[in-house]
Amino acid sequence: MSLASMTAVMCSIIGYIGDKDVAQILIDGLERLEYRGYDSAGIAGLKGDSFTILKRLGRVKNLSDAVEQSMNFGNSGIGHTRWATHGGVSEKNAHPHVSFGGIFTLVHNGVVENYESIKTFLDERGYEFYSDTDTEVLVNLIEYHYRKEQDGGDKFLRSVQKALLHVRGTYGIAVLCKYNICEIVVARKSSPLLIGIGENEMFIASDACAIAAHTKNVVYLNDGELALLTKSDFSITTMKNEKIDAVRCKLDWRMEDVSLGEYEHFMLKEIYEQPLSLANAMRGRFSDDLSTAKFGGLQLSPRELRQIDRIVFCACGTAWHACLVAEYLIERYARIPVEVEYASEFRYRNAPLEKNTLVFIISQSGETLDSFAAMQEAKRKGYMTLAITNVIGSTIARESDGGIYQHSGPEIGVASTKAFTAQLCIVAMLALLLGRLRDMSFDEGTSFVQALVNLPQKISQVLDSGDRIRAIAEKYAHHEHMLFLGRQLMFPIALEGALKLKEISYIHSEGYPAAEMKHGPIALISDKCPCVFLATQSDILQKTISNIQEVRARGARVLVVSSEGNEIPRKCADDLIVIPDTHAALQPILTTIPLQLFAYYIAKARGCEIDKPRNLAKSVTVE
Ligand code: F6R
């Protein structure tokens, strides 16, 4: 099996053991997890000593439609949705996979890096393979060890432990053994997995949203841990069978958070949740005199914060855009030099870091593999690493030295919206905190805090113009190319506007610093390539207007997003969206909102699958 045909997966896992019909529980869970990956889906149930397995290509709906009355999946089972990174999307590659002797079935999230040598080893011992996946190699390795182990005791668990000792790579797995109808074994390394504890029933999931409807009592597995579950109990061990004490947590999610309610798409719901998610990001985080911010989780005293000479921010995608905003804000208000790195570059770049450098990771999911690896690299070098994450108990949150939770609530839409604005809010508050520890005056601090307090109300005002933004968006929906342009703090927002549009509508769109356009991108300008200008900053308004005129002169249609009080000459804009004025540090947040709606309504007009755009998955847990 060559690397090209390996079927590494980035996907999701669900499992159940109890007294209920397992098929419905697995399928409900997979539907909630589908935003993580949706190339194929499958479930396996164990009844008596035989597995019932069903797999379908495409959406979970195809799987649930295929379940027939006559099928009996029993009361314990595992399920999976798959997002293929290498190799084909096919039913034979879909999970669950069954071992050659039929003793085990397994679902897997991750990559077995040394699958080739394991496969050769098993080939030589007569094992045959039906799929192109590394996962099938893993399930067979477990069977190989099972056959070698002494009978009795915890033979099932021991064979999984033994097999995993030989595996290089990443995994979250759930395994059924046909001789142990009352047990499921799970294990994790660099791939999230949690146990949900119910009344005489246990759940397994790679993401809490899959089981939040059933239980709020959970245990997050740590790297290198396995768990043996029965319907009434569970025990956690290391690969070497050392016992681990479980740390129980409570999920703070409500069912409304993971349901569509009155909305057609999660993306729209999450856009409209922003007044609340921003209020939640700020709650309890201002000093009593309302002149600065405070974050309990930073684990750094004011004195230590003052000693920071440099901050490096690392992230991927939308979260990386939040890092760019952090750079502008922290440098402007706290005068601390900031560098922004793509996590995927930083992890291999061996960047020289100065003494007193703080490394900040921003990640909504807290599970993005590149961001986690960047964090590990900084930790390895002995730097303090902090994280801004949304998902409590996520890998990055747990492995960082401290951090700030976003409290955005679950973000289900694949395109990040409310999590991004919460990240912007937190980095603005961080700039305020660090600024107040240095040169920012009390008066500047209180007006900054006041602007933050007023922000949710201003976001609601922007959201109230949703119908107008929809009408404008529909005029642009037929274009195949678009540029987003902004200066200074609006440059990262131009990048974010372009990313939102391209990922959900498949329109080719790019963001640039407005003045950079003359150095190349202007060659693209024509009546077929409209431009979206972000002209919300009054101090550089005239410069932005000059850039607008440059593209108008070349026939481009122009949409301008501006703030109240900014004079935009009529001839500059074919379409104009005016948002409320706010503190300069918070303009990125308000300016983002119309761009989210613009992208959403364009994608809707084009009939795109907004919550599950092609080729994408919510949390990227492979390289
Ligand atoms: C885009 C988007 C992605 C994520 C990126 C990082 O809308 O959602 O670009 O921002 O994959 O994900 P997290 O923040 O979970 O690390």
Low-confidence winner among 88-97, 235-244, 285-294, 595-604 (lowest mean pLDDT): 88-97
Q: Compute the distance from residue 281 Cα to the ligand 1 centre, in Å.
A: 18
Ligand 1 atom, smallest distance to 389 CA: 14
Task: Report CA-CA distances (Å) from 386 to 28, 374, 400, 402, 451.
Answer: 35, 12, 5, 5, 26
Q: Which of these, 380, 351, 371, lies nearest to 423 by C-alpha position?
A: 371
The larger pLDDT score, comparing residue 523 to residue 481, is at 481
- Pocket probe for ligand 1: among 364, 502, 505, 610, the residue whose CB has the most ligand atoms within 8 Å is 364
Give per-residue pLDDT as tens, 182-193.
Answer: 999 999 998 889
Q: Which of these, 133, 70, 77, lies nearest to 105 by C-alpha position?
A: 77
Percentage of the chain beyond pLDDT 70 is: 96
Percentage of the chain beyond pLDDT 90 is: 74
Measured by CA distance, the residue closest to atom 7 of ligand 1 is: 415
Distance CA 535, CA 486 (A): 7
Q: Which amino acid is at 456?
A: P
Mean pLDDT estimate for the chain: 92
- Pocket probe for ligand 1: among 316, 363, 505, 611, the residue whose CB has the most ligand atoms within 8 Å is 316
Q: Compute the distance from residue 322 Cα to the ligand 1 centre, in Å.
A: 11
Give per-residue burial for 254-276: e unless 16+ CB within 10 Å, then b.
Answer: eeebbeeeeeebbbbbbbbbbbb
User: What 8-state DSSP symbol labels residue 301?
Assistant: -
Identify whether 11 is a catalytic site residue: yes
- Assess contact for 78 and 26: CB atoms under 8 A: yes
- How much is the average pLDDT of 67-89? 83
- Assess contact for 490 and 596: CB atoms under 8 A: no
pLDDT at residue 68, as a whole number? 84
Identify whether 529 is a catalytic site residue: no
Q: Compute the distance from residue 310 Cα to the ligand 1 centre, in Å.
A: 25
pLDDT at residue 45, as a whole number? 97
Global confidence as pTM: 0.82
DSSP 389-413: ESSTT-HHHHHSSEEEE-------S
- Assess contact for 522 and 552: CB atoms under 8 A: no
Q: Compute the distance from residue 104 Cα to the ligand 1 centre, in Å.
A: 35
The larger pLDDT score, comparing residue 33 to residue 579, is at 579
Low-confidence winner among 7-21, 308-322, 353-367 (lowest mean pLDDT): 7-21
Ligand 1 atom, smallest distance to 414 CA: 8
Give per-residue burial for 605-618: e unless 16+ CB within 10 Å, then b.
Answer: beebebbbbeebbb
- Pocket probe for ligand 1: among 392, 416, 608, 610, the residue whose CB has the most ligand atoms within 8 Å is 416
Q: What is the largest distance, in Å, between two alpha-carbon atoms of the chain?
A: 83
The larger pLDDT score, comparing residue 11 to residue 313, is at 313
Percent helix, strand, coil in the chain, to 5, is 40, 25, 35
Measured by CA distance, the residue closest to atom 11 of ligand 1 is: 317
Tally the residues of the chain. 623
* pLDDT higher than 70, residue 239: yes
pLDDT at residue 91, as a whole number? 87
Ranges of CATH 3.40.50.10490 domains, the chain? 260-462, 465-623
* pLDDT higher than 80, residue 584: yes
Q: Compute the distance from residue 592 Cα to the ligand 1 centre, in Å.
A: 16
User: Quick one: CA torsion of 389, 395, 400, 402, rounded to 10 degrees?
Assistant: 50
Measured by CA distance, the residue closest to atom 10 of ligand 1 is: 318
Q: Which of 11, 316, 323, 572 is catalytic?
A: 11
* pLDDT higher than 80, residue 6: no
Give per-residue pLDDT as tens, 528-544.
Answer: 999 999 999 988 899 99
How crowded is the C-beta side of 202, counted as CA atoms within 13 Å?
23
* pLDDT higher than 50, residue 4: no
- Pocket probe for ligand 1: among 365, 501, 504, the residue whose CB has the most ligand atoms within 8 Å is 365
Q: Which of these, 248, 225, 80, lies nearest to 157 by C-alpha position?
A: 225
Give per-residue pLDDT as tens, 116-137.
Answer: 999 999 999 999 999 988 999 9
Q: Compute the distance from residue 321 Cα to the ligand 1 centre, in Å.
A: 10
Tell me if residue 458 falls in helix, strand or coil.
Answer: helix
Q: Compute the distance from residue 619 Cα to the ligand 1 centre, in Å.
A: 7
Q: Which CATH class is domain 465-623?
A: alpha beta
Q: Which of 231, 269, 502, 618 is catalytic?
A: 618
pLDDT at residue 87, as a whole number? 55
Give per-residue pLDDT as tens, 388-438.
Answer: 999 887 889 989 999 999 999 989 898 999 999 999 999 999 999 999 999
pLDDT at residue 615, as a whole number? 76
Numbers of helices and strands, H then E, in the chain? 18, 25
DSSP 551-608: HHTTT--EEEEEETT----GGG-SEEEEE----GGGHHHHHHHHHHHHHHHHHHHTT-
Q: Which of these, 192, 203, 173, lies nearest to 28 by C-alpha position?
A: 203
* pLDDT higher than 90, residue 612: no
pLDDT at residue 2, as a whole number? 36
pLDDT at residue 560, as a whole number? 96
The larger pLDDT score, comparing residue 415 to residue 89, is at 415
* pLDDT higher than 70, residue 1: no
pLDDT at residue 85, as a whole number? 60
pLDDT at residue 621, as a whole number? 66
Q: Cβ contacts of residue 408 below 8 Å, gap of 6+?
A: 277, 280, 281, 364, 390, 418, 419, 422
Give per-residue burial for 549-558: e unless 16+ CB within 10 Å, then b.
Answer: ebbbeeebbb
Q: Which CATH class is domain 4-256?
A: alpha beta
pLDDT at residue 3, as a whole number? 33
- How much is the average pLDDT of 438-444? 97
pLDDT at residue 622, as a whole number? 64
pLDDT at residue 132, as a whole number? 87
- Pocket probe for ligand 1: among 271, 405, 620, the residue whose CB has the most ligand atoms within 8 Å is 620
- How much is the average pLDDT of 44-53? 94
Q: Compute the distance from residue 485 Cα to the ligand 1 centre, in Å.
A: 21
Q: Pocket around ligand 1: residues whose beta carbon is below 6 Å from it? A: 316-319, 363-365, 368, 371, 415-416, 499, 503, 619-620
Ranges of CATH 3.60.20.10 domains, the chain? 4-256
* pLDDT higher than 70, residue 200: yes
pLDDT at residue 344, as a whole number? 94
Alpha helix positions (H), 125-188? 134-148, 155-165
Q: Compute the distance from residue 316 Cα to the ligand 1 centre, in Å.
A: 6
Pairing mode, strands 97-98 and 402-405? unpaired
Ligand 1 atom, smallest distance to 396 CA: 16
* pLDDT higher than 70, residue 228: yes
pLDDT at residue 7, as a whole number? 37
Architecture of the domain spanning 260-462 = 3-Layer(aba) Sandwich (3.40)
| Per-residue pLDDT band at 33 (split at 50, 70, 90) | confident
